[in-house]
Structures are given as structure tokens and as C-alpha cells.
Structure 1
């Protein structure tokens, strides 16, 4: 008879996410993960299959806990006209004015895409879906905020804002002021374009 599990896999994934986010996949060792999760190596392998399996669970927790809640206002039916500004201001606050993992380390997925995992098909699929979801959410926010603009202009504005968001998440770990400027430019573009 097998032993009863005494931990929640979601909690383990969140604990591991903190380490992966801080150190990156390559520089995170199994002893690091054991210390962060309170599990021994055999429990990690039994539950997640491998370090990579635990990383995949950590990525899912990132999407569930960090990304999707932040985008909720841009995905709701009947998006409020100010939803995009609310999203951009909230992101700016989290990255520039708080001491969050996002502020300290940038986007977990963008960081992973630039690592040794960048050519991995599973990660590429997750990052591509993430990019598409963010672009669609921002596009919906632009449509709600600026229905007065021609469709081609709204598309350009959406692409510009999406690019500024991605750039801010990539640079925040080394230059918070630059990240803030990029998000301020996106907020300004939405209101003035």
C-alpha cells in the first residue's frame, strides 16, 4: 500500500515557482527545490516526474496566480472602457512600486524562453499561447477604450501596447525606471492616440 500524500501539489508548485523565478531553470538545483518545497528528491520525482515536471507545474501556477487574474478585466464580457488603463496601471504598480517577484525578476515565461529551455516544444507552445492571450486581451481593451479609431489604427495601438508590456517585463529586473517609462508610454498612447 502506498503512502498518503501529506502535501498539496499546488503549494509545492508555488514554492518551486519562487526559486525558478529567482534563479532560472538552469541554476535551480534539486537541493534548492527540496529546501523550498520541504520535499525530498523522491517525493518530487514521484509527484512531478522530474525537475522539468516541477518547472511545468510552476509555470502553470504562474499563469493561474499571476497572469490570468491580472488579465481578468480585459477578458470579461462587456469590457469596461477603462479596463486597459487599469491593467497597465496595476502592472506598473506591481513592477515599479512593489517588491514582487515580477519586479525583481521580470516575467517567468519570458525569462524561460531566453534560457536553455527556449527551444523546447512544450515551453514554446506555452509561451506562444501566453503571447497570443496577452495580445488578444490588450486588443480587447483597446477596442473597448477606443472604438472611435479605425480598425487598422486600433490594431497598431494594440500591437504597440503589447510590445511595450513585453519590453517592460523583460527590462524591469535591471532597470525599473525604463520599465515604468514603457508602461507610461503605453498608458499615454491609449489615451492620446
Structure 2
């Protein structure tokens, strides 16, 4: 007869998530994870199969509860404009889409600014992995690249909605430039929090320059 589970999976995954966020996949030890979750390694392995299984669950939680809620206004704006194009209707510039891009970077900068020094949530869980374990782990490399693509697509969709006259190549270039500032800022956040915030503010200001004047 199988053992019954006596803990809340979401609570355990989010507790482990902060350890991985702080220390990375390689740096997070089983004793660290045991202390954070309140479970012994036997229970963790029974529930998640391995340390890697727990990490994968933590990444999914990170995407679902941290990243995608932030991206939702960008995605919504981009989808609305794409629907108009698919229906054969000319798209008008969307002031809401332009504001969504500016607000995205404003809120991200404020979130980084308000975290206390030494917080495990400074930076980005997946950006941290991109400079460590992802270099020798194909599955993790694919996960980090999918994350990059999701961020790029969200930004590009909103930028396109804000200025439908812009060529696709220009939209993609702008999305890459903004994303490069974001990822650089999050990589720097543990080293120089103030500079990370300044970089996110620079992304906000650049996005504001690209928004049509009537937005």
C-alpha cells in the first residue's frame, strides 16, 4: 500500500523554488532543500523522483506564478492585434499595448528595487541557470531558451500592436534590445542592485520613446 502524502505540494515546491532561485540547480544541496521544505530526502524523492524533478517543478511554478502574470498584459495586447490581422482588418496603433510595455519595465524595476539586499528572489531563477548548469545540461538549456523565446514573443507582440506600421524585423530588433537590458539587469541584480534597477528604468524609457506619440 502506497504512502499517503501529508504535505502541501505547492508550499513545498515554492520553498524549494526560492532555494534554487538563490543558489541555482548545482548550488542547491539536499540539506538546503530539506531545511527549506521541512521534508527529508526520502519524502522529496518519493514525491518528485529526484532533485532534478523538484527543480523542474520549481521552474514550472516560477513561470506560472512569477513570470506569466507579469507578461499577461503584453500577451493580451499582442493577441488582440493578431486577431485583428487574422480577420483581415487593418490594425490601428494600440495605446494600451504601448503603455503595457512601459508599465512592464516600470513594475519590474520597482520589484527589484523593493527587494531587500540578500533576498533569494533577487535576479532570475532561469537567468542564473543560464550562466551555470545550462551550459552542460541539454534539457535545461532548452528550458532556458524557451523562456527567452516566451519573453521575446510577449514583448514583440505588444510592440507590434503599439505600432502596426513597423516592419517585423524592426519589431524583433526592438524586442531583443529590451530583453537584453532586462536579462542583463537581472544577471547583475545580486552584484549591484541599484545598477540593475537603473538598467530596467533605461528599458522603460527606451520603450516609452518607441510608443507612438498619441499613445
* TM-score using structure 1 length: 0.90
Are the equivalent residues in 2 in contact too, given 1:157–1:189 (CA < 8 A)? Answer: no
- The list of structure 1 runs, each at least 4 consecutive aligned residues, that deviate by more than 6 angstroms after superposition, is none
- Count of residues paired in the alignment: 191
Larger radius of gyration: 2
Greater Cα offset, 48-57 or 148-157: 148-157
Instruction: From the superposition, tell whether residues 61 and 94 of structure 1 become closer, same or farther in structure 2 (CA, over 3 Å).
Output: same
Match of 1:142 among 151, 159, 168: 159
Q: Structure 1 residue 117: deviation in Å?
A: 4.0
Alignment of 1:110-125 (within 5 A): 110-125=127-142
Deviations 1:116-174 (A, max 9, x none): 34321111111111000100111112122333544433332222111111111111111
Structure 1: distance between partners of 2:139 and 2:167? 37
Task: Report Cα offsets for 1:72-127 as digits up to 9, x if no partner.
Answer: 1111133732111111111111112333644x3x1100111211343211111111
Unmatched 5+ residue regions in structure 2?
82-95, 211-215
Q: Which runs of 5+ in 1 are unaligned?
A: none
Name the counterpart of 1:78. 80
> Pairwise CA RMSD of aligned residues?
1.8
Is the CA contact 2:102–2:205 (under 8 Å) kept in the aligned structure 1? no
The structure whose RCO (Cα within 8 Å, separation 6+) is larger is 2
Which residue of structure 1 aligns with residue 44 of structure 2? Answer: 44
Aligned to 2:65: 65
